[in-house]
Amino acid sequence: MNSDLRHTTRISRRTALRSAAGLGALGALAAAGANAVAAPNDSGKSAIVIGTGFGGSVAALRLGEAGFRTTVFERGRRWTIRKDGNTFASTTAPDGRAAWFSDTVGLTSTLGIPVQRYPGLLDTVKGNGISSVYGVGVGGGSLAFGAFTAIPRKQDFRHVFPEVADYDSLAATYYPRALAMLNASPLPADIMAHPRYVGARSWAATVRRYGKEPVAFDYAIDWDIVRDELSGKATPSITIGELGFGVNSGAKNSTDHNYLPAAERTGNVTIKPMHEVFEIRPRSRRAGFIVKARVIDDQHRTVRIVTAEADHLFLGAGSFHTTRLLVEARARGTLPRLSTRIGDGFGANGDFLTARAGLTDDYGAIQGGPGFGRVYEDGMAGGPVSMVYHSTPLPSPLGKTLTTNLIQVHTDERGTVDYDHAGRAAVLNYPHPEGNVLDRRGAAFAEHFHQRAEARHGRVGGFPVYSRAAGFGSGSTYHGLGGVVINQAADQNGAVHGYDNLYVVDGAFAPGAVGLVNPSLTIAAMAERTMDRFVVTH
């Protein structure tokens, strides 16, 4: 075994006995490779990655390729697509597989239904003032995401990243590299022409009625499997709007389909599912870190504690959880030199979720997904705004006349991740109550769009819905970002201030937004950039 990375697995007898009820899960963990040791390389270089979302997956692959012996800790389980089409829960009949150890599950924070606790897909962090939803499992948020992989416009990117000068190199190199890895492409014309995609066609027509051309972008979808869904050869998933609880047909190109298997194929990367990191401290004699993780079972009991150490540590636990680990390490004194800026800059990407109901156009009671294109409006008083159509993930109770849209606006409103001494844990604080700038700009555009696209054309009857009480508006987000923000708590290369060899590769680096598009592609592209720079210098 490489001397730089020692796995000191400590299982107390008492813990093992206490966990006897979880022995089934223990066996499953062993079968999943939880104790596996990757083939040693000769380079003597070692790394740990925490988390397997977009940032963690990119880091794992690029480290493996560069010959770093890499351990990847992921607190969630591995999901392998089953032939019977029953890998994930469905939105019409959800169960515990849809939620991370929660008693309820829902696609928005307010529409929860009771389920059994399980290491399922969606983790809702209930903050003060906002709920932020994350994907959990090998693949992280890419398992849950709607597969929208869009590149922000230069002016919108520069608005949120004013000091990141090289948008052009991202556009020329890193966005295309990430899109190629995720095998992303636009909605093909033959699928858009299918009756199940009437919603996408109605949306395109609505945008044209509004006076704009929809801007097409890529989706991380295997469209051949979608064609199989439409012809009855694969389990209907994307074609019935099911994405948030996982895609049973296997058509979603989540990172467990591309980056992560490629990382494992290097022979240098070991992924450890059901390993929840809870402590980070520096090594005492030389550069590097010691990381402690709980091996958990499917009741969230600790089976044992694993300790690993390596020369370099890459944080990819997702914006809140990466920040939480650092905020807690600073408060507990294991990483006391971390910047006081850690925890700043949490934002919801300017997200404002709306429904449009009672429409005269036919959107389809069951809507093929994920969506089609984006409309930009640069003429709003509060600055540019964008909106995407999102196929409704449930059969519409209002027939064919309801659909969902996500508006994104620029706003400077930000929250913080702080250490709560009473609860001895990090908490999310978002001190911008209902009626904030984000709400006002989002609602203004929802009304404006409705007036121009529907009412002006005499198609009255439709109305926008953005009430928080119904789970819309800005009370919750799928796109929580920030906490270890570039040029504040970390440098342009992702190096976290205060400690050498510590890097942020996930959405925590983004200053609360990425610029009027969904964030995953920018996270992957920025991680590619960070890893390029790291590999060149190491």
Ligand X SMILES: Cc1cc2nc3c(=O)[nH]c(=O)nc-3n(C[C@H](O)[C@H](O)[C@H](O)COP(=O)(O)OP(=O)(O)OC[C@H]3O[C@@H](n4cnc5c(N)ncnc54)[C@H](O)[C@@H]3O)c2cc1C
Q: Does 326 bind ligand X (CB under 6 A)?
A: no
Shortest separation between residue 316's beta carbon and ligand X, angstroms: 5
Our CB check for ligand X shows the closer of 41 and 187 to be 187
Distance CA 400, CA 366 (A): 8
Q: Any contact of residue 364 with ligand X (CB under 6 A)? A: no
Distance of alpha carbon 346 from alpha carbon 414, whole angstroms: 5
Torsion of CA 470, 474, 478, 482, to 10 degrees: -160
| Residue whose token pair is 């003060």 | 128
For ligand X, give the closer residue by CB, 2 or 142: 142
- Binding ligand X by CB under 6 A: which of 127, 214, 318, 345? 318
- Piece of 109-117, 144-152, 407-415, 459-467 that binds ligand X (CB under 6 A): 144-152
Nearer to ligand X, 462 or 475 (CB): 475
What is the DSSP secondary-structure string of 409-444?
A: E-----BEEEEETTTTEEEEE----TTSHHHHHHHH
Asked if residue 120 binds ligand X (CB under 6 A), the reply is: no
From the CB of 325, what's the least distance to ligand X, in Å? 6
Place of tokens 């994307």: 238
Q: Is 277 in the site for ligand X (CB under 6 A)?
A: yes
User: Of the ranges 5-13, 37-45, 133-141, 152-160, which one interacts with ligand X (CB under 6 A)?
Assistant: 133-141
Verify binding: residue 256, ligand X, rule CB under 6 A.
no
φ, ψ for residue 356 (rounded to 5)? -120, 120
Position 135 contacts ligand X (CB under 6 A)? yes
Query: Least distance in Å: CB of 522 to ligand X?
Result: 8
Q: How far is the CB of 60 from ligand X (least distance, A)?
A: 11
Rg of the chain taking only CA atoms, in angstroms: 22
* Dihedral Cα 356, 133, 495, 60, nearest 10 deg: -100
Cα 512 to chain center, whole Å?
Answer: 14
Q: Candidates 111-119, 130-138, 179-187, 490-498: pick the segment binding ligand X (CB under 6 A).
A: 130-138
Phi and psi at residue 202, to the nearest 5°: -65, -40
Residue 331 CB, nearest approach to ligand X (Å): 16
SS (H, E, C) 373-407: EEEEECCCCCCCEEEEEECCCCCCCCCCCCEEEEE
Does 442 sit near ligand X (CB under 6 A)?
no
According to DSSP, the β-strands at 104-105 and 113-114 are: antiparallel
Give yes or no for residue 244 binding ligand X (CB under 6 A): yes
Site residues for ligand X, window 146-165 (CB under 6 A)? 146-148
Structure tokens, 349: 């990407």
- Does 369 engage in binding with ligand X (CB under 6 A)? no
Cβ proximity to ligand X: between 99 and 122 the closer is 122
From the list 507, 511, 512, 515, which residue makes contact with ligand X (rule: CB under 6 A)?
A: 507
Q: Is 141 an interacting residue with respect to ligand X (CB under 6 A)?
A: yes
Give whichever of 49 and 462 is closer to ligand X, judged by the CB atom: 49
Q: What is the DSSP letter of 278?
A: E
Query: Residues 134, 174, 175, 197: which binds ligand X (CB under 6 A)?
Result: 134
CA 22 to chain centre: 29
Q: Is 393 a binder of ligand X (CB under 6 A)?
A: no
* Binds ligand X by CB under 6 A, chosen from 22, 47, 74, 528: 74
Q: Least distance from C-beta 232 to ligand X, angstroms? A: 26
3-state secondary structure 343-378: CEEEECCCEEEEEEECCCCCCCCCCCCCEEEEEEEC
CB closer to ligand X, 60 vs 230: 60
Name the token pair of 180.
């190629």
Q: Among candidates 416, 522, 534, 481, which has minimal Cα distance to 164?
A: 522
Sign of the CA dihedral running 516, 519, 523, 525 = negative
Give the angle 41-46-47 at the CA atoms, nearest 5°: 130
73 binds ligand X (CB under 6 A): yes
Piece of the chain touching ligand X by CB under 6 A; list 80-88, 134-142, 351-359, 442-450:
134-142
Interface with ligand X (CB under 6 A) = 50-56, 73-76, 122, 133-137, 140-142, 144-148, 244, 276-277, 316-319, 321, 478-479, 506-507, 518-521, 523
